[in-house]
């Protein structure tokens, strides 16, 4: 028996990991939480939802389109579908659609219909996306659609806006599939190889003080692994069995995860488009067998849901066995492994895709940038304003990075050169335009409003304070600052209304009381002037 952690009461007897109760509890978590799993929820998503990674993926998609067009594999009369699995908070989708639009407008594909399909198995999550006003313009022109799609079982893709249905055997054009932080959270199997033997690691679930299945939560579970020797042909699936045998031949005293649901999903997506798929996947995982740790059993991380490392090496072997291509970074990933896998198109016809991967991922890609970002966050206070602007520009106007640099920006503002202040104004506009709120507590609009006030731009500040009120509700400081902006814009009645509302929200607010007194005094002065005239 291989124990991952302590145990008390049995919940489920030993069985293949992919058949564990763990995964049905996982589905229940995402169905119940919906988009609340992200934003202020427990599920991490930042590193796979930045403008930087969106730009990298957009460049790879453009390279892929060039390869398809160059080999006559692109029907310009039909749409090209980009299917994002488990689109989660929607923030990556928002950044990606914006970056891809910029590239397409400047390319030979400006007239090509390229439709991003955001998908998830949870109905509430898809419903939330469809109601977001930020997506409306893309839905209207057909460049964004939605689908309920279950990576574990669905055979077709039904688009909810256009009504199009992608079925096996159909599809005029290749498909791009995007899977960020998806394959780490769907069923996998586990094996260990010792002295030429293949041992399947069966999972047994335990929970403290919860002897039954009812009421068990993911955070209650403890998992133990029991090795059981299996023979060749264990799966009865040629692709899966070949992978197991390959690992038996090259590994010893090591355990490996088999991403059987991920591989099955790829196979079903390939069936929708004549086998031609480019898969772009970002996750925590291993790019080659030599990176596998010596641990006797896989570990499961807990962050609201459960997740495991992704065996990208197995996906790469699957792609190459099918005559495709697998790209992985030459340097081992520190925080995020971004792999690309091409099916149905000969390797010699993937020159532009190869080049795009080299430039967008392998030579300073999302993992490299994130590693540098962690270090930079410790030194933001030491940066000059033009350096901060360069950093923001490089990030793609990342709102998180802007937040980290905000104290330094405010400190430099009073002595900033006119051209730097002008550049800062443009940067604020870019950060604002690229921000998709996902329910987080941080109030970006409020901070942007304060910065515009510091730059003596009350109209722009008022716009941000209005956004803050819409996103975060009535807050006295926001109302007071908005009132001050309106006063400076010569709108005394509107300013008075906002000040009154601030004091209703917070009657004891001293700043609000002072502002209200000033407004009353100015109103009385205007009345006296009118009488004298």
Determine the CATH number of domain 373-532.
Answer: 1.25.40.10
Tokens of 417: 């050169």
Tokens of 401: 């990075």
Most confident of 11-15, 31-35, 89-93, 528-532: 89-93
pLDDT of residue 243: 96
| pLDDT digit string, tens, across residues 195-230 | 999 999 999 988 876 555 566 777 778 888 999 999
In whole angstroms, give the CA distance from residue 36 to residue 440: 10
pLDDT of residue 1: 45
- The residue written with tokens 């980290």 in the block is 404
Number of neighbours of residue 129 by Cβ within 10 angstroms: 23
pLDDT of residue 5: 47
In whole angstroms, give the CA distance from residue 173 to residue 238: 27
| pLDDT digit string, tens, across residues 457-503 | 999 999 999 999 999 999 999 999 999 999 999 998 899 999 999 99
Whole-prediction pTM: 0.93
Q: Is the dihedral of CA 7, 13, 16, 18 positive or negative?
A: negative
Report residue 361's pLDDT band, with 50, 70 and 90 as the boundaries: very high
Report residue 7's pLDDT band, with 50, 70 and 90 as the boundaries: very low
For the chain, the maximum distance between any two Cα atoms, rounded to a whole number of angstroms, is 103
Fold of 29-185+263-364: Rossmann fold (3.40.50)
Ranges of CATH 1.25.40.10 domains, the chain: 373-532
Three-state DSSP at 533 gives coil
400 or 12, greater pLDDT: 400
pLDDT of residue 191: 96
pLDDT of residue 14: 92
Percent of the chain with pLDDT over 90: 76
Query: Mean pLDDT score of the chain, rounded to an integer?
Result: 91
Q: Give the C-alpha distances (Å, rounded to integers) separating 529 from 449, 525, 526.
A: 33, 6, 5
Q: For residue 407, is pLDDT > 80?
A: yes
């Amino acid at each position: 028996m291989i124990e991952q952690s302590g145990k008390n009461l049995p919940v489920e007897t030993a069985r293949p990991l992919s058949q564990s109760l763990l995964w049905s509890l996982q589905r229940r978590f995402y169905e119940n939480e919906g988009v609340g799993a992200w934003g202020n929820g427990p599920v991490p998503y930042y590193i796979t939802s930045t403008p930087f990674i969106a730009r990298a993926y957009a460049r790879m998609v453009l390279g892929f389109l060039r390869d398809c067009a160059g080999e006559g594999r692109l029907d310009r009369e039909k749409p090209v579908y980009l299917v994002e699995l488990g689109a989660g908070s929607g923030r990556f989708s928002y950044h990606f659609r914006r970056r891809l639009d910029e590239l397409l407008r400047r390319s030979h594909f400006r007239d090509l219909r390229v439709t991003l399909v955001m998908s998830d198995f949870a109905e509430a999550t898809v419903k939330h996306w469809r109601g977001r006003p930020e997506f409306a313009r893309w839905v209207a022109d057909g460049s964004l659609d939605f689908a309920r799609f279950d990576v574990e079982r669905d055979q077709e893709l039904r688009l909810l806006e256009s009504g199009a249905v992608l079925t096996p055997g159909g599809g005029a054009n290749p498909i791009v599939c995007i899977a960020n932080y998806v394959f780490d959270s769907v069923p996998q199997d586990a094996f260990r190889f010792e002295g030429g033997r293949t041992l399947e690691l069966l999972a047994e679930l335990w929970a403290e003080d919860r002897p039954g299945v009812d009421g068990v939560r993911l955070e209650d579970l403890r998992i133990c692994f029991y090795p059981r020797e299996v023979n060749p042909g264990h799966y009865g699936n040629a692709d899966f069995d070949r992978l197991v045998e390959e690992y038996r031949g090259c590994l010893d005293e090591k355990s490996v995860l088999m991403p059987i649901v991920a591989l099955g999903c790829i196979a079903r997506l390939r069936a929708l488009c004549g086998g031609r798929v480019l898969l772009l996947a970002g996750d925590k995982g291993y790019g080659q067998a030599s990176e596998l740790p010596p641990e006797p059993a896989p570990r499961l991380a807990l962050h609201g849901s459960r997740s495991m490392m992704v065996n990208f090496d197995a996906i790469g072997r699957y792609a190459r066995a099918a005559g495709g291509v697998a790209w992985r970074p030459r340097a081992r990933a520190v925080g995020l492994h971004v792999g690309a896998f091409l099916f149905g198109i000969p390797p010699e016809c993937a020159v532009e895709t190869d080049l795009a991967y080299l430039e967008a991922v392998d030579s300073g890609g999302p993992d490299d940038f994130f590693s540098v970002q962690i270090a930079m966050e410790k030194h933001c206070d030491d940066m000059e304003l033009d350096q901060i602007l360069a950093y923001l520009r490089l990030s793609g106007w990342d709102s998180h990075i802007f937040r980290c640099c905000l104290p330094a920006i405010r400190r430099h503002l009073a002595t900033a050169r006119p051209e730097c202040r002008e550049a800062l104004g443009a940067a604020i506009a870019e950060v604002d335009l690229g921000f998709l709120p996902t329910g987080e507590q941080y109030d970006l609009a409020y901070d942007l409003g304060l910065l515009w006030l510091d730059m003596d731009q009350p109209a722009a500040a008022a716009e941000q304070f209005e956004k803050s009120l819409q996103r975060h509700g009535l807050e006295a400081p926001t109302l007071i600052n908005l009132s001050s902006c309106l006063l400076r814009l010569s709108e005394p009645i509107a300013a008075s209304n906002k000040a009154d509302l601030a004091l209703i929200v917070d009657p004891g607010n001293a700043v609000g009381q002072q502002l209200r007194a000033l407004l009353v005094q100015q109103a009385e002065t205007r009345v006296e002037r009118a009488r004298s005239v």
